[in-house]
């Protein structure tokens, strides 16, 4: 990873293709609260300008499976994945443990296409990441050429869930979802990273084009907000991608 402005982290995988992207740390703006509030507008503006973009679009993330294309700045409504081909427009996600996945690629005419997914466990079992890749493919992307980054988030070391989460995953994703759960003496743990990597690979993204930061927000110190660690006092960080 590389850093910019102290509070913005970036991935070499995306930097190599000149993507304007990054995710914030606890030292950056706090993105908690009503997604229509003025504080979120200010935070998004600071983030997109820091990455060299002009404007940003974001959503009310509801832990669902809805994917939206955005062409205009500002609040886009309820969704857990956004994508765009509008130059200068960054798509922005917010988190405090859930994986934020940034994706960038090209269309046949050489123009760019990009998106993000907010892959909470509920969104993951609804196939949010696969849905984003499908939408981008229908928008002209070659999935084999897509680059994807999984930002810091709750890792399999710490993301403890109840058995009803496993049963929901098995029902929604099929018996293969059993591989994403590990039973330890402390309880049952869900590997959200592996579950979403599997969705990307199944949708055609090459494994070597997927970069997982591998930083757990729960046990990895206080560099990133964590709702599991800090409860209602936790802030929110954000991630953005655009061109």
Structural domain spans, the chain? 2-155+205-232
- The pLDDT of residue 165 is 98
Determine how β-strand 74-78 pairs with β-strand 55-60.
parallel
How large is the angle between the packed helices 192-202 and 128-138, nearest 10 degrees? 30
Nearest residue to 16 via CA among 113, 147, 145, 141? 147
pLDDT in tens, 48-90: 999 999 999 999 999 999 999 999 999 999 999 999 999 999 9
Q: Mean pLDDT score of the chain, rounded to an integer? A: 96
Write out the DSSP string of 155-168: -TTT-EE-HHHHHH
Q: What CATH code is assigned to 2-155+205-232?
A: 3.60.140.10
For residues 32-47, give the mean pLDDT. 96
pLDDT in tens, 28-38: 999 999 999 99
- d(C-alpha 17, C-alpha 223), whole Å: 27
């Amino acid at each position: 990873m590389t850093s910019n402005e102290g509070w913005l982290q970036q991935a070499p995988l995306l930097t190599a293709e000149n993507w304007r992207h990054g995710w914030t740390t606890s030292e950056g703006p706090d993105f908690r609260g009503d997604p229509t509030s003025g504080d979120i507008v200010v935070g998004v503006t600071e983030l997109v300008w820091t990455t060299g973009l002009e404007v940003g679009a974001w959503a009310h993330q509801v832990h669902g499976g809805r994917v939206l294309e955005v062409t205009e700045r500002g609040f886009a409504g309820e969704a857990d994945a956004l994508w765009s081909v509008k130059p200068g427009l960054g798509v922005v996600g917010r988190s405090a443990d859930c994986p934020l996945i940034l994706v960038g690629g090209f269309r046949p005419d050489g123009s760019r296409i990009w998106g993000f997914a907010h892959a909470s466990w509920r969104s993951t079992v609804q196939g949010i990441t696969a849905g984003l890749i499908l939408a981008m493919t229908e928008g002209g992307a070659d999935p084999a050429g897509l680059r994807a980054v999984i930002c810091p988030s709750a890792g399999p070391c710490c993301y403890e869930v109840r058995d009803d989460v496993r049963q929901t995953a098995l029902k929604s994703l099929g018996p293969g979802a059993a591989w994403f759960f590990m039973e330890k003496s402390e309880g049952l743990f869900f590997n959200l990273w592996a579950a979403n990597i599997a969705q990307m690979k199944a949708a055609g993204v090459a494994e070597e084009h997927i970069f997982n930061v591998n930083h757990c927000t729960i046990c990895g110190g206080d560099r990133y907000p964590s709702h599991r660690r800090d409860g209602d006092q936790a802030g929110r960080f954000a991630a953005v991608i655009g061109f």
